[in-house]
A and B are shown apart, each in its own frame.
Chain A
Amino acid sequence: MTTGSLALAASPPSGARRRWFGERTALPGFGLTFGFTLTWLCLIVLIPLSAVFIRTAGLGWSEFVAVALSERALSAYKVSFGTAFAAALVNGLFGLLIAWVLVRHEFPGKRIVSALVDLPFALPTAVAGIALTALYAENGWLGQYLVPLGIHVAFTPLGIVVALIFIGLPFVVRSVEPVLADIGPEIEEAAQSLGASRLQTMRRVILPAILPAWLTGFAMALARGVGEYGSVIFIAGNMPFRSEIAPLLIITQLEQYDYAGATAIAAVMLVISFALLLVINLLQAWARSRSID
């Protein structure tokens, strides 16, 4: 870092000012940008989020249990978590397969297919919701074949899973893709030239290498699915105790001016989100330590 030490020699005062904050640098603007970042973060994110916990704490324990852990609320968490888990499993399997095909195979239109994978990030959730509902309704393109077989997707929990598969797919593909690209076919060739079978190579070489990234993608898809609202409500049917998701229950409480109920359920959802975020951060740290090795 010769330029760095040069700059430091040129203006020692500002370098000295920053001394308490680790490495010295002559660059200005730390106070301004750090102050703005922290203030804006507090105003827009931290203080509003804390309102949920402060208002919930004001409820008292017994009232909190009565509203946040009511039978209807518990079944809503179960629906949200169960469908998100099922969708994340499907995405874990097919997302891995799609990432594999994108990294290892050449085929015409590959770039377009790769761009298409990001569609769920770009398409508004409400649009996805009404499109999926139209597809799987009794007279829809897919529903007309599925309903006679007794497979009801629209207005059932299965519909929620379908919507969450749409929403979560890119998380798995985009997490696994760079790691698969890093491994490269050479490592597989090496394993096979040392006598490993196709299955052994997969199980002993590839899967362990991509496991942290795959789990990260799975957890991200799960986290997104648990909180998802827009794509789900159109296709879910929204029957309490059957296909009512937790975010919808919050809206229902709000519409009945039951702020305490909505806030308590939101607090439970936030705790679940933060727990998943922690898991994702730990998985990412694991993935990073793997890629350095």
Chain B
Amino acid sequence: MAARPASDGRLARAALLAVAMVFLGLFLLLPLISVFVEALKGGVGVYLDSVTQPDAIAAIKLTLLVAAIAVPVNVAFGLAAAWAVAKFDFPGKSILVTFIDLPFSVSPVVSGLIYVLLFGAQGWFGEWLAANDIQIIFAVPGIVLATIFVTFPFVARELIPLMTEQGRGDEEAAVSLGASGWQAFWHVTLPNIRWGLLYGVLLCNARAMGEFGAVSVVSGHIRGRTNTMPLHVEILYNEYNFAAAFAVASLLALLALLTLVLKSALEWRYGYHGKGGGH
């Protein structure tokens, strides 16, 4: 990583750096700053009013609830998938890994639509659900399902390369010394993968709280009931209530900043670098 400016001359260096910074400033930094400026345009009073309205509070609560379900579910799945894929050999492994990654390539809108096709009024299980008075679409379960789908690969794709790299020697040693599978997992595997797990959870949580397209399809936008924070931002914005829209948006932007700070802390402090690639 030691960067030696071997090749670029001083002038070229300055020019490259300037172009890169202007591009990042225009396309990334400026939008981020504008969220906070627009949010505080009407003053602190308006800001606090906007984020403490009953509808806003309900949206914040729903967003926290959805993430509180989706993230642990994906952690459980990611741990199981990584254990099976990294510690054992079986045919079709690479196909399985590709399938786990599949939700990343699906448009968010399609990610929501698939559950409407299953559980919506005209869906495969629509009639049965209606007869039994169970509502999934335009209700919280649909939002949770769509969120689980779009965040499905985050933890698994972080852990699979990490645990494959670490091999199974440590766990085999533990088991040969009399540890049970669970003990080997808790006392050997988990300490080895904690930073990677935390990294995956961070990204999974950010996406779970911020997902818009998929949730928008299944939510029905019922204020106070099926509105998550991003959907609430949209409703306020479409009502030309810009100050309130940006106020709620600024909370999500703070979440994004917190995610980046924690992620960077993992990278700088513990030298952990993401294994999962983009997203």
Contact = CB atoms under 8 A, between A and B. Distances in A.
B109 A247 contact: yes
A26 B123 CA distance: 45
B88 A27 contact: yes
Interface stretch (B48-56, B127-135, B166-174, B190-198): B166-174
Contacts of B68: none
A27 B109 contact: no
Given A40-B77, A169-B27, A1 B169 contact: yes
Contacts of A124: 209-212, 229-230, 249, 252, 256
A48 B88 contact: no
B19 A229 contact: no
Contacts of A135: 30-31, 34
Contacts of A188: 6-7
A258 to B, nearest CB: 11
A230 B216 CA distance: 9
Interface in B176-197: 176, 180-181, 184-185
Contacts of B175: 7, 10-11, 26-28
Interface string B225-252: 0000111011001000010011001001
Interface in A121-178: 121-128, 130-132, 134-135, 141-142, 162, 165-166, 169-171, 174-175
Given A142-B30, A198-B7, A97 B110 contact: no
Nearest to B106: A273
A141 to B, nearest CB: 7
A164 to B, nearest CB: 11
A212 to B, nearest CB: 14
A220 B28 contact: no
B114 interface: yes
Contact of A10 (B38, B176, B252): B176
The majority secondary structure among interface residues of chain B is helix
A158 to B, nearest CB: 13
A204 interface: no
The majority secondary structure among interface residues of chain A is helix
B256 A123 contact: yes
B139 interface: no
Interface string B212-229: 110011000000000001
Given A254-B113, A266-B113, A29 B277 contact: no
B115 interface: yes
Interface string B27-58: 11111101100100000000000000000000
Interface residues of A, number: 111
Interface residues of B, number: 108
B252 to A, nearest CB: 5
B7 A111 contact: no
Interface string A29-71: 1101110111011001111110110010000000000000000
A24 to B, nearest CB: 9
A131 B208 CA distance: 20
Nearest to B78: A37
B176 A11 contact: yes
B118 interface: yes
B21 interface: yes
15 contacts: A37-B84, A45-B152, A98-B23, A105-B5, A126-B231, A130-B245, A130-B246, A188-B6, A247-B109, A248-B109, A251-B216, A263-B117, A270-B110, A273-B106, A273-B107
Closest A-B pairs by Cβ, 8 of them: A124-B210, A227-B107, A22-B89, A185-B6, A230-B212, A229-B213, A28-B181, A7-B176
Interface of B: 1, 3-8, 13, 16-17, 19-21, 23-24, 26-32, 34-35, 38, 77, 80-81, 83-85, 87-91, 96, 98-103, 105-110, 113-118, 120, 122-124, 145, 148-149, 152, 168-173, 175-176, 180-181, 184-185, 203, 206, 209-213, 216-217, 229-231, 233-234, 237, 242, 245-246, 249, 252-253, 255-257, 259-261, 263-264, 268, 277-279
Given A37-B100, A49-B102, A228-B108, 10 more contacts: A37-B85, A46-B99, A104-B5, A126-B233, A130-B233, A185-B4, A230-B212, A259-B120, A270-B106, A277-B101
